Amino acid sequence: MARSHRRIMPVALAAAAALTLTACGGGGNFGGDDDTGGDGEAEEGPIVIGAVLDITGVGANLGVPEQNTLQMLADQLNAEGGINGREVELIIKDNQSTEDGAARATTELIQNDDVDLIIGASRTGPSLAMRPIVESEQIPNISIAANAAIVEGSDWVFKTAQNDVVVIQSIIDNMAEKGYKTVALARDATGFGEGIAEMITEVGAEQGIELIATESFEPSATDFTAQMTNIRNAEADANIIWGITPSAGLAQAAYVQLGIDAPVYQSHGVANDAFFEAAGDAADGVLAPMGRLLVADQLPDDDPQLPVIDQFVADYTEEFGTPPSSFAGHAYDAWKIAVIALEEAGTDADALRDAIENVSGFVGISGVFEMSPENHSGLDSSALIMAEAGDGRWNLAE
């Protein structure tokens, strides 16, 4: 079905007039659902990339650096002459960290702005809300959220953040090396902590490590005595605290407070400075798998990611005055993958999707990506290093 371009003269009705304040390009609200983005699109004119980010709301600390990154990279790209001579227009929408906001923004980008590709969202929930829309509209989407469910079985959705299972793989490998046999888990009760226990059980079984206790805590929780008491009683060889700051930091403080001396692994959710504010001295010695970004200064010189990370950190710091977070890194990877595919395939949706699936050996901030039709995530555990907390920062662990 061709997009209808009916333009109906605004009817001079008082009631309607009030509502048409921002109505300039009316008539686009009946875009058919099978109106594929690539259909008969000219392979010329500006390329339009949309982004749906958690710029306001609970995900703001993720979305804002991501927004900065994308804006910076788009400016750089256009300064260099765009993609194959075509200018790139970046349109960023805020989903207010809500599912309906994400659905809204996605619909708007597709129907109003005719985007060729969408980046986002920052977190799992909004990303899942975008998925049915991009699939039915057939627009390639690169999410920068973590949960594997975002891409599972999807033809159109990709993501650049490591799968949780990759992080768990990395923790379990480290545990196995040290000879631990039992592990207890305290996870947060959000989407971030969802399904973690099951993954640990599954991955651990391969290495002979058994999950013997699971506790959960609310992301807004302030007291963790109950959970940590139960963890203490489990007497596991090592424990995992899986959450984001500040709750993961407060949980860490309670852990030390209750005198538990088994080693602690945390997730990549604490790969930031806020963790140290919340955990204080209790942070020392915590192990956490994360991307190389935070420990770039300690990487060996031959690390292939080093020049990429150094360049990005330098650019970002110069532009915004603070070093980039790992979330900014996910946005960087999403942008670069999009650009590689667009250079390769242009703006035809099907060709673009196939091109993303063929991205291979791309060295990004979070790791080296190997996309395929089966794997829309592209990172394995080699993307992660094990970091150890000490002196109020993350260091490369031995």
What residues between 132 and 151 interact with other proteins by CB under 8 A?
Answer: 132-133, 136, 147, 149
The residues, any chain, with a CB within 8 Å of residue 16's CB and separated by 6 or more, are 10
Near other proteins in 209-248, by CB under 8 A: 215-218, 220-223, 225-227, 229-230, 233, 245-246
Nearer to other proteins, 64 or 72 (CB): 64
Near other proteins in 173-202, by CB under 8 A: 186, 189-191, 194
Nearer to other proteins, 180 or 217 (CB): 217
H or E segment to which residue 133 belongs: helix 124-137
Number of residues that bind other proteins (CB under 8 A): 81
Contact present, 385 and 394 (Cβ < 8 Å): no
274, 299, 306, 363: which one binds other proteins (CB under 8 A): 274
Q: Under the criterion CB under 8 A, does residue 207 sit at the interface with other proteins?
A: no
161, 250, 383, 387: which one binds other proteins (CB under 8 A): 250
Which bin fits 117, alpha (ψ -120 to 50), beta or left (φ > 0)? beta
Q: Is 192 helix (H, G, I), strand (E, B) or coil?
A: helix
Window contacting other proteins (CB under 8 A); options: 176-184, 256-264, 323-331, 387-395: 256-264
Kindly state the smallest distance separating residue 2's Cβ from other proteins, in Å.
14
What x/- string results for residues 72 through 91 when contact with other proteins is judged by CB under 8 A?
--------------------
H or E segment to which residue 354 belongs: helix 349-357
72, 129, 165, 166: which one binds other proteins (CB under 8 A): 129
2, 8, 42, 79: which one binds other proteins (CB under 8 A): 8
Residue with tokens 């010695």: 285
Contact present, 52 and 124 (Cβ < 8 Å): no
49, 52, 90, 131: which one binds other proteins (CB under 8 A): 131
Nearer to other proteins, 251 or 387 (CB): 251
Q: Under the criterion CB under 8 A, does residue 13 sit at the interface with other proteins?
A: yes
Q: Rounded to the nearest 10 degrees, what angle do helices 326-345 and 306-320 cross at?
A: 110
Kindly state the smallest distance separating residue 152's Cβ from other proteins, in Å.
11
Structure tokens at 136: 């039915």
Pairing of strands 47-53, 88-94: parallel
36, 71, 107, 395: which one binds other proteins (CB under 8 A): 107
Residue with tokens 């109950």: 226
Q: Under the criterion CB under 8 A, does residue 108 sit at the interface with other proteins?
A: yes
Q: Under the criterion CB under 8 A, does residue 24 sit at the interface with other proteins?
A: yes
36, 78, 112, 375: which one binds other proteins (CB under 8 A): 112
Nearer to other proteins, 292 or 330 (CB): 330
CA distances to 70, 314, 343 from 167, in Å: 25, 27, 31
| Residue 32, phi then psi, degrees to nearest 5 | -65, 155
Window contacting other proteins (CB under 8 A); options: 92-100, 138-146, 168-176, 385-393: 92-100
- How open is the CA angle 266-267-269, to the nearest 5 degrees? 120
Q: Under the criterion CB under 8 A, does residue 60 sit at the interface with other proteins?
A: yes
Residue with tokens 């970046």: 90
Q: What is the Cα gyration radius of the chain? A: 23
In one letter, which amino acid is 370?
Answer: E
Q: Under the criterion CB under 8 A, does residue 252 sit at the interface with other proteins?
A: no
Beta strands in 233-323 (DSSP E): 238-242, 264-266, 287-290
Kindly state the smallest distance separating residue 101's Cβ from other proteins, in Å.
9
Q: Under the criterion CB under 8 A, does residue 70 sit at the interface with other proteins?
A: no
Kindly state the smallest distance separating residue 22's Cβ from other proteins, in Å.
5
Q: Under the criterion CB under 8 A, does residue 319 sit at the interface with other proteins?
A: no
Residue with tokens 């790209």: 77
Q: Under the criterion CB under 8 A, does residue 277 sit at the interface with other proteins?
A: yes
| Residue 53, phi then psi, degrees to nearest 5 | -125, 160
CB atoms within 10 A of CB 23: 11
